[in-house]
Amino acid sequence: AQSVTQLGSHVSVSEGALVLLRCNYSSSVPPYLFWYVQYPNQGLQLLLKYTSAATLVKGINGFEAEFKKSETSFHLTKPSAHMSDAAEYFCAVSDQPGTYKYIFGTGTRLKVLA
């Protein structure tokens, strides 16, 4: 069965520092992978998605993620953190063509320190 693991429920970085949020998936077939962000009191917003095209995916707000099949990973990065990046981030996987069911990770809350 497919699953998603997000390492670190809370991550703190200094403003201007590299952001790295980890996501590992388990899937028997090539997956579709997603990163969503949830700002306080708001719904989830899609940051980026991988759909078997380029392995390096660029998203909104300067975020990007790289699909690494050998490591079954899809880590989210941003070169320089901004205060406005403070939010909760969710990784999700869908590995069945034609399915609409995403499996979500438990989320990582990012804190940006001034």
Partner 1 sequence: GAGVSQSPSNKVTEKGKDVELRCDPISGHTALYWYRQRLGQGLEFLIYFQGNSAPDKSGLPSDRFSAERTGESVSTLTIQRTQQEDSAVYLCASSLIASGGTDTQYFGPGTRLTVL
Closest distance to partner 1 from the beta carbon of 80 (Å): 26
Nearer CB in complex with partner 1: 50/75: 50
Q: Is 22 in the site for partner 1 (CB under 8 A)?
A: no
Residue 46 interacts with partner 1 (CB under 8 A): yes or no:
yes
Q: Which of 70, 83, 98, 114 binds partner 1 (CB under 8 A)?
A: 98
Span near partner 1 by CB under 8 A; candidates 17-25, 57-65, 72-80, 95-103: 95-103
Long-range contacts of 18-21 (CB under 8 A, 24+ apart): 18/77, 18/78, 18/79, 18/80, 18/81, 19/63, 19/76, 19/77, 19/78, 19/81, 19/85, 19/110, 20/75, 20/76, 20/77, 21/75, 21/76, 21/77, 21/89, 21/91, 21/108, 21/110
Residues that bind partner 1 (CB under 8 A): 4, 9, 32, 36, 41-46, 49, 51, 90, 92, 94-107
